Structure 1
């Protein structure tokens, strides 16, 4: 029996398992995914799957990274603003392309090699913008929280023009208490998700630039640096 299992493990490549796992997850979603179903599709024992991936969590992390590898993330440039937009657009495209897989990117700080490539671009961009490392670390994670959240909201149907029933509900709100909400009804009826995403990204980038401009001059905070200049 052990000999047969060993031959089965050698007979299937890890990449083959991952390809099948991604296809199953992308079509059936997490509720329809299991190690047992995957093993049946690949034609191996479930333990063979766990021989290549030590746990279901490790496999799910690999599925998320596999999905990201299918989206082009341009290389870093000398324009930090464009680099942030390029990474943001890549993740938004990923959500549109694989909506059932996308939520896995919320589960892990990083899904693997492809995720680290994108985060390196983001961290380099924020440092290039002039932020301190503590700011770059925090805003780097905030950047992903915004981009992933926006893209997930799109896949769930939140960022779309409101319909007739939603308009009726808003029109029924008290005109004085909800003055701004009612005033925005025409804009909500014609909401453009692409424009909203661009506006949100530009606001984030403007905020980074403003934060960098108001960053204290580190040399002026260092007494030794000041003394050495005399």
Structure 2
């Protein structure tokens, strides 16, 4: 009698990434993954102790992809900006996995590469060592939030997008000027969240880096 096929850790991660790409983290389960692979859940638990551990490993592979071939260039602000944009691009290709990173984080090799580059760049800024961990945390939270937010918009179907745009127009252009005077005043200039997100991403990150630069600037 032939036994079930043994899957490598990399093959399991490949299948998990594809299942997440076509679905979402809420519906994802080890049982569903096992069914895709034609095996049982117990065989997967030999590789990963829990669903969370598996999801962290999937997210870490996105970080590894982002850091592949990365060579730091420029000053510390340019390095952090380049790092953020690499992460944005990597998760942009698999937006469903951005929520996995934001929710479960990662402790693998990809995560360590990202952390190392960010911390090295912050040390080059001139910040005292005792201030760097807190500054790093703020930047990490900001980047993860921006990427997850953008990924959420990019997974919307064309029909959902059009429906959302119509609801936005009704909510904004139809606002009662007596109850919502500011909204009525700016109605024709306020843009939906999905518009020009790359510029917003870079400007928000730049503002955070400017705060750091101001903190280390003499006087």
Aligned to 1:207: 211
TM-score relative to the length of structure 2: 0.80
Name the CA distance, whole Å, in 2 between partners of 1:133 and 1:183. Answer: 47
Aligned length: 206
The alignment status of 1:165 with 2:170, answered yes or no, reads yes
* RMSD, matched Cα: 2.9
Name the CA distance, whole Å, in 2 between partners of 1:128 and 1:118. Answer: 16
Aligned to 2:18: 23
Equivalent in 109, 113, 121 of residue 117 of structure 2: 121
Partner of 2:45, secondary structure, is: helix
Say if 1:19 and 1:185 are closer, same or farther in 2 by CA, change over 3 A. same
TM-score relative to the length of structure 1: 0.77
For structure 1, which runs of at least 5 residues remain unmatched after alignment? 216-230
8 A contact 1:22–1:66 mirrored in 2: no
Higher relative contact order (CA closer than 8 Å, sequence separation 6+) = 2
Aligned to 2:157: none
Name the CA distance, whole Å, in 2 between partners of 1:78 and 1:128. Answer: 11
Equivalent in 30, 34, 39 of residue 34 of structure 2: 39
Name the CA distance, whole Å, in 1 between partners of 2:27 and 2:108. Answer: 24
Aligned to 1:12: 7
For structure 2, which runs of at least 5 residues remain unmatched after alignment? 155-160
Aligned to 1:225: none
Say if 1:182 and 1:207 are closer, same or farther in 2 by CA, change over 3 A. farther
Say if 1:157 and 1:108 are closer, same or farther in 2 by CA, change over 3 A. closer
Question: Based on CA coordinates, which of the two structures has the bigger radius of gyration?
Answer: 1
Cα offsets for 1:19-54 (capped at 9, x unmatched): 111111221212331111111221222111000112
